[in-house]
Amino acid sequence: MKRRIHLGAVLVCSLVSYFCSCSAFYLPGLAPVSFCEDGNGADDCQSVIQLFVNRLDSVESVLPYEYDVFDFCKDAKEMRPSENLGQVLFGERIESSPYKFNFKQDVKCSKVCTKTYKKGNQEDIAKLDFLKMGMQLNYQHHWIIDNMPVTWCYDVEDGQKYCNPGFPIGCLVTSDGRAKDACVINAEFNKKNTFYVFNHVEIKITYHSGASEGWRGARLVAATLEPKSFKQVDENTPNCETSSPMEIPGEFENDVSVVYTYSVTFEQDNSIKWASRWDYILVSMPHTNIQWFSIMNSLVIVLFLSGMVAMIMLRTLHKDIARYNQVDQADLIKIPSTKEKFSLPYEDAQEESGWKQVHGDVFRPPRKGMLLSVFLGQGTQIFIMTFITLFLACLGFLSPANRGALMTCAVVLWVLLGTPAGYVSARLYKTFGGEKWKTNVLLTALLCPGIVFADFFLMNLILWVEGSSAAIPFGTLVAILALWFGISVPLTFVGAYFGFKKPAIEQPVRTNQIPRQIPEQSFFTKPIPGIVMGGILPFGCIFIQLFFILNSIWSHQMYYMFGFLFLVFIILLITCSEATILLCYFHLCAEDYHWWWRSFLTSGFTAVYLFIYAVHYFFSKLQIIGAASTILYFGYTMIMVLIFFLFTGTIGFFACFWFVNKIYSVVKVD
């Protein structure tokens, strides 16, 4: 059952979550929960440990499902903690479970509930078939204790231990005897065309005692489990040691009864601090060396581009400018101004070629200036949002412990940054000589967000039809629209008002009335080859980091390396800027002055490489099956590509805009 979130609650939640995120990051001494033994509990020291369950997901399907959909044991007094906007958008559905433990009281093989499926009952058949589907697609539980994921730790290659924040609900041995997924961990899982459900969990909770620390009780620092499968002969006296595995035949021929049990043990370990209790999960993901390799690879590209730009700025342009400033008093009766040197037919001017020949056309307004200004306004909004979000994440405000904070922060920032979007779009549109200011403002506020919302709405319809927990409730959709039209759009109008009120950006040279004819271009200076080449280097700086981001999104791995991500973000800014400046200079030297759109598309073409890589990732790394999952993958990928296109295109445009103004300022009359 999907919970409907009240419109007003979401509006308040989204705003409050953003402003409160400053005190919600994961640092030592921040709001830990203490636990005491039964009978010693108080308001500041709890004795009951409540286990919460989250949605179940799979690497073979994009569709997550709520815990209750799989007909597991339910809590008689089901509770749902409050969810922020980010959690709702990510489809998290946290609820209480029947697994409740008393602190420091070990339990061995305790029954939770029994689920029986009758052969002739259509409802039971549907429930069992859905459970089988979950085991076949390797759906994973995600349990939470004291805001920590309950992890399943197991050995991997080279003696390393990997701690997975989820564990499978079961596994399948195919009709040809091949053990899939978790069935390889037990030699007893060997019967063909049989499902094995993990109906027993052995939970170990590690705590840090406060007896010698000066605070009362203990704090939980780790929670691990090991899933097992046992077939119970007598559900009232369960056996969790020597029982055979719980089998569910592929063909439903007889009644099936599944008894769910658990064991829990407590262990004290004062060497683990509460503030670093996530470390054992993060350490098991040894990506640091790969990340440093990615950074070094990107820095080499940046140094190469920086050298090229420096050579142009300090050598080529410096010589040109110095030659213009050298006036031979003996040969000239009148010393012409710098601007006159471009217009008078004296000897030096006749010898000019390349970028200096197009000074009278380089600032000619581009075609489709309305659309370009709209893209640049939206790109500015996305750039500022991304920068602030990553900066806060680096400081720890948006850590994995603060669930949903990253998405909540991004959405609220985007809503509040409508003013710079309207200002930039209006100012550039006025510079281009545009007069339809109402159309410009409306397109800035509605065009790109409308495309994203339409795509998101279609994907949400598919999720709703499939019964997935990721389907956004109708109230949340209304809340998003209210944030968009109630806050973002008015702020865009405010920014556009100040943008149109300002004078147009002053150009360093006058534009000729008659456009200059562009000479025949070589293959490499033509628009399309230049644009295609322009996105290669920026993409080369990010593709390794992109792999981990896609793993986090689609393979449900925890992403925490925001420091690396912020560094790669800065490198991407530099690379996009320098690559665009270089290609812009080469095109101007070839006397092609159409640089407005080309500067935007050159770095924006990095998004095309992002899409190609996403397609490669889909076919090479994922095992997603089903039409719905495929449509959802590419639907959400298109949203990412559009946002990335606006982001990188805006970076390249403003870098080139600064460069062109800089080099042509030598002909500006003081």
Q: What is the pLDDT of residues 457-474, one digit of tens each?
A: 999 999 999 888 888 988
Residue 379: per-residue pLDDT: 96
Question: Which two structure tokens, joined as six digits, stand for 601?
Answer: 């598309």
Residue 359's pLDDT band (cuts 50, 70, 90)? confident
Instruction: Flag whether 32 is in a domain.
Output: no
Provide mean pLDDT across the span 600-605: 94
* pLDDT score at 27: 41
Q: What is the mean pLDDT of residues 384-397?
A: 91
Read off the pLDDT of each residue in 303-314 and give the average, rounded to a whole number: 75
Mean pLDDT of the chain, nearest integer = 82
Judged against a pLDDT cut of 50, whether residue 425 lies above it is answered with yes
Residue 647 has pLDDT above 90, yes or no: yes
Same domain, 620 and 546: yes
266 φ, ψ (degrees, to nearest 5)? -115, 140
- Which pLDDT tens digit goes with each residue over 324-344? 556 433 344 444 544 444 444
The model's pTM is 0.84
Measured CA to CA, the distance from residue 134 to residue 51 in angstroms comes to 22
With bands split at pLDDT 50, 70 and 90, how would you rate the model's confidence at 485?
Answer: very high
Confidence bin at 18 (pLDDT 50/70/90)? very low
Tokens representing 62? 């994009």
Question: Is the pLDDT score of 389 beyond 90?
Answer: yes
Confidence of residue 652 (pLDDT cuts 50, 70, 90): very high
**Please, are residues 645 and 601 in contact by the beta-carbon 8 Å criterion?**
no
Is residue 459, in this structure, part of any structural domain at all?
Answer: yes
User: Which has more pLDDT, 352 or 219?
Assistant: 219
Above 80 in pLDDT, residue 323? no
**Token pair listed for 400:** 């994995």
- Residue 206 and residue 214: Cα distance in Å, rounded? 19
Domain that holds residue 58: 41-277
pLDDT per position as a tens digit, 244-262: 888 888 888 888 899 999 9
The reply to whether 16 and 106 lie within a common domain is no
Residues 489 and 615 in one domain: no
* Residue 352 included in any domain: no
User: Are residues 479 and 547 both part of a single domain?
Assistant: no
| Least confident piece of the model among 82-86, 364-368, 483-487 | 82-86
Q: What are the backbone dihedrals phi and psi of residue 269, each rounded to the nearest 5 degrees, phi first?
A: -150, 95
Question: Do 268 and 154 have their domain in common?
Answer: yes
Task: Say whether pLDDT at 642 is over 90.
Answer: yes
The 10s digit of each residue's pLDDT in 49-79 is: 999 999 999 988 888 999 988 989 998 888 8
- Mean pLDDT within 370-388: 96
Instruction: Please report which residue ranges of 502-561 form alpha helices under DSSP H.
Output: 527-534, 536-554
Encode pLDDT of 510-547 as tens digits.
Answer: 888 887 887 787 877 788 888 998 888 889 888 888 88
Query: Of 137, 108, 102, 104, nearest to 200 (Cα)?
Result: 108
Q: Could you report how far apart the first and last alpha carbons of the chain are, in Å?
A: 71
What pLDDT, on a 0 to 100 scale, did the predictor assign at position 198?
A: 93
Residue 197 has a pLDDT of 92
What is the pLDDT at residue 285?
63
Interacting residues of 157 by C-beta distance below 8 A, sequence separation 6+: none
* Digit-coded pLDDT (tens) for 272-284: 888 888 877 776 6
Considering the domain architecture, whether residues 103 and 166 belong to the same structural domain is answered as yes
Return the percentage of the chain with pLDDT > 70, whole number: 86
466 and 544 fall within a common domain: no
Residue 643 has pLDDT above 80, yes or no: yes
pLDDT value for 594: 87
Taking the C-alpha atoms of residue 447 and residue 375, their distance in angstroms, rounded to an integer, is 9
Backbone dihedral region of 75: left (phi > 0), alpha (psi from -120 to 50 degrees) or beta?
beta
Cβ neighbour number for residue 274 with a 10 Å cutoff: 20
Q: Give 472 or 162, the one with higher predicted confidence.
A: 472
User: Is the model more confident about 332 or about 374?
Assistant: 374
Q: How confident is the model at residue 400 (pLDDT cuts 50, 70, 90)?
A: confident
Question: Is 577 a domain residue?
Answer: yes
Count of all residues that appear for the chain in the document: 670
User: Is pLDDT at 661 greater than 80 in this prediction?
Assistant: yes
Q: Is residue 638 part of a domain?
A: yes
Q: Residue 463: what residue type?
A: L
* Domain-ending residue, one of 472, 507, 542: 507
Does position 373 have pLDDT exceeding 60, yes or no?
yes
Q: Do 110 and 222 belong together in one domain?
A: yes
Q: Are 26 and 278 in contact (CB under 8 A)?
A: yes
Does one domain contain both 451 and 579?
no
| Shared domain check, 255 and 106 | yes
Residues 6+ apart with CB under 8 A from 289: none
pLDDT of residue 150: 92
The answer to whether 89 touches 110, Cβ cutoff 8 Å, is no
State the maximum Cα–Cα separation within the chain, in Å, rounded to a whole number. Answer: 114
Reported as half-sphere exposure (CB side, CA atoms, 13 A), residue 427 has a value of 17
Residue 512 in tokens: 């000729």
Is the pLDDT assigned to residue 3 strictly greater than 70?
Answer: no
Residues of the chain above pLDDT 90, percent: 36
Residue 16 has pLDDT above 50, yes or no: no
Q: Which of 315-319, 424-428, 432-436, 652-656 has the lowest mean pLDDT?
A: 315-319
**For residue range 77-124, what is the model confidence (pLDDT) as tens digits?**
888 887 888 888 888 888 999 999 999 899 998 999 999 999 888 898
Per-residue pLDDT at 328:
38
Residue 360 within any structural domain of the chain: no
- Which of 329 and 576 is assigned the larger pLDDT? 576
Return the higher-pLDDT residue of 260 and 7: 260
Mean pLDDT across 314-326: 62
Residue type, 256: V
Q: Which of 507, 542, 575 is the last residue of a domain?
A: 507
Which of 277, 302, 328 is the C-terminal boundary of a domain?
A: 277
Name, in order, each residue with C-beta under 8 angstroms of 253's C-beta and a sequence gap of 6 or more.
Answer: 119
**Bigger pLDDT: 295 or 19?**
295
Q: Between 466 and 316, name the one with better pLDDT.
A: 466
Domain co-membership, 617 together with 470? no
In the predicted structure, residue 185 carries a pLDDT above the cut 70 = yes
pLDDT at 2: 36
Domain for residue 311, yes or no?
A: no
Counting the structural domains of the chain, the total is: 3
More reliable by pLDDT, 611 or 253: 611
* Predicted local distance difference test score (pLDDT) of residue 551: 83
Mean pLDDT of 394-400: 81
Task: Say whether pLDDT at 192 is over 80.
Answer: yes
pLDDT attached to residue 313 = 66
Shared-domain flag, residues 83 and 211 = yes
Residue 353 has pLDDT above 70, yes or no: no
Residue 390 lies in a domain: yes
Average pLDDT over every residue of 120-145: 91
